[in-house]
Copies of this chain bind each other. A is one copy, B any other.
Amino acid sequence: MTSVQIARPQIALQAPTAEDAACCTPTGSGPIHSAEQAQKLASLLKALAEPTRLQLLSLVAAHEGGEACVCDLTEPVGLSQPTVSHHLKILVDAGLLTREKRGVWAYYTLVPERVSQIAAALGDFTTPQSS
């Protein structure tokens, strides 16, 4: 039997770069300087804006050694392994977790820099703008 690989579009959720800030129509003097920047931050926030995903991030961050196997995560969130794996994939695609396959299991680690990046972007809203 021939297996057909269907290429799935990769949604790259990259952090806003200097290029983003430099290009495009500025919409104001606030922390969001371009529509593209708003789009990227919104994509990252969307990956986070789901209760199970927030719980999974929390569990991984709190797990021994800062690393957790999908087998450690299904019971605490009370969901099936395919559902948990689906949520973990969204977090990995958003750069919030890294995934490493070892033996039969995949292990997940938090990317604290990515979370800090989002927190900092939100913090910019509350920082008085220089005129």
What is the interface of chain A, defined by CB distance below 8 A to chain B?
27-32, 35, 38-39, 41-43, 45-46, 48-55, 57-63, 76-77, 110, 112, 115-116, 118-120, 122-123, 125-126, 129
Q: Bound state CA distance, A123 and B120, in angstroms?
A: 9
Q: Is the CB of B116 within 8 A of A76?
A: no
Name the CB-closest residue of B to A116: B126
Given A32-B54, A55-B32, answer yes or no on A110-B122 (Cβ-Cβ < 8 Å).
Answer: no
**Smallest distance from the beta carbon of A24 to chain B beta carbons, Å?**
12
Given A49-B45, A125-B110, answer yes or no on A62-B30 (Cβ-Cβ < 8 Å).
Answer: yes
Copies of this chain present: 2
Q: Bound state CA distance, A33 and B45, in angstroms?
A: 20
Residues of B within 8 A of A29 (CB): 62
Q: List 27 A-B contacts (CB under 8 A).
A: A27-B58, A27-B59, A27-B77, A28-B58, A28-B76, A30-B57, A30-B61, A30-B62, A32-B55, A32-B58, A38-B58, A39-B51, A41-B54, A42-B48, A42-B54, A43-B49, A45-B45, A49-B49, A57-B125, A58-B125, A61-B126, A115-B122, A115-B123, A118-B122, A119-B119, A119-B123, A119-B126
